[in-house]
Homo-oligomer: A and B are copies of this chain.
Amino acid sequence: MEIINTRRSIRKYTDQSVSDELLVQLLQAAMNAPTARNMQEWKFVVVKNKELQKKMAEAMPNTHMSAHAGACIVVCGDTTIQPKAEYIYVDCGAAIENLLLEAHSLGLGCCWCAVGPNEDRIVPTKELLNLPEHYLPVANIAIGWPAEEKEENHRYDENKVTWVK
């Protein structure tokens, strides 16, 4: 799939806004990812507020792109639905990848900024977004219309593969 191979992290965005309709489309893609035992434990917080985005960027290192993005989507796991943190991480990883691919297919660019498992990011994220105690924020995805171009990925490394026949 060309979309998988041409998707790259985009950290620079134009000032053009991202419509709610497109953001819902990204969330639809995210929620069509599989989850362990089909628990669908994700929760999403969509931030379209430049003041709050700026505070989020200031609170966390290396996430400056959040301030300038058209929107941010914070992907969380609900620990009352899925108590095993490892499943929350692996399930959110799959959901985020769907979101990134859908965004790329629409011409949008994203940057995936980790929140958990770093306590120094989890705490300010929960405070700034007023998240319930049982939400585990896994990542903050900055989304916007790309103001940079990147070349196709070629990360395949046969040394990472063992064949057993």
Which residues of A line the B interface, CB within 8 A? 1, 3-5, 7, 9, 20, 24, 27-29, 31-34, 36, 40, 42-49, 52, 84-87, 89-98, 100-102, 105, 112, 114, 116-117, 129, 138-139, 153, 155-157, 160-165
Contact = CB atoms under 8 A, between A and B. Distances in A.
Contact of A114 (B36, B85, B138): B36
B156 A31 contact: yes
Q: Which 3 A-B pairs have the closest CB atoms?
A: A93-B93, A89-B89, A86-B117
Contacts of A93: 89-97
B90 A138 contact: yes
Given A89-B90, A90-B89, A91-B93, A155 B46 contact: no
Nearest to A86: B117
Given A28-B156, A46-B162, A48-B164, A97 B1 contact: no
